[in-house]
């Protein structure tokens, strides 16, 4: 079976970047090298100097490719930025009209449920009268 070199793979392993050349047709990795990560330099260049889109809020800047190394995912699936857990939340506020519609829908559900209970009770009484 011919062996063809595939592109090199980069991964972060314990604070070091691992470069591996993987070859198809073999079950082993070759040429694994490591180089230390300069975290202070990454923190200094985490944001780009590119002007963000006009529809972004004031003070929000794009993350550089180096800055992406500061993002992480914990074992619990939570997102971390430079070791700090990010608190993600989304607040939902309903307008007055939406609250009225929800209230009317809830009242309709209660009325239909009550009508079904009354109908079941009437059928039960009728069935008991025939016994």
pLDDT, one tens digit per residue, over 106-117 is 999 999 999 999
Displacement of CA 110 from its chain's centroid (Å)? 36
The answer to whether the pTM exceeds 0.85 is no
Q: What is the DSSP letter of 113?
A: H
**pLDDT at residue number 33:** 53
Mean local confidence (pLDDT), 56-82: 84
């Amino acid at each position: 079976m011919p062996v063809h070199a595939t592109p090199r793979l980069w991964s972060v392993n314990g604070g070091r970047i691992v470069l591996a050349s993987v070859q198809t047709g073999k079950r082993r990795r070759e040429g694994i090298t490591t180089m230390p990560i300069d975290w202070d330099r990454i923190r200094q260049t985490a944001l780009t100097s590119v002007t963000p889109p006009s529809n972004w809020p004031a003070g929000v800047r794009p993350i550089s490719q180096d800055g992406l190394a500061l993002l992480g995912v914990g074992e619990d699936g939570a997102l971390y930025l430079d070791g700090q857990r990010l608190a993600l939340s989304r607040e939902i506020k309903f307008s007055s009209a939406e609250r009225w519609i929800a209230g009317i829908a809830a009242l309709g559900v209660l009325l239909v449920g009550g009508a079904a209970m009354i109908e079941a009770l009437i059928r039960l009484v009728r069935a008991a009268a025939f016994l």
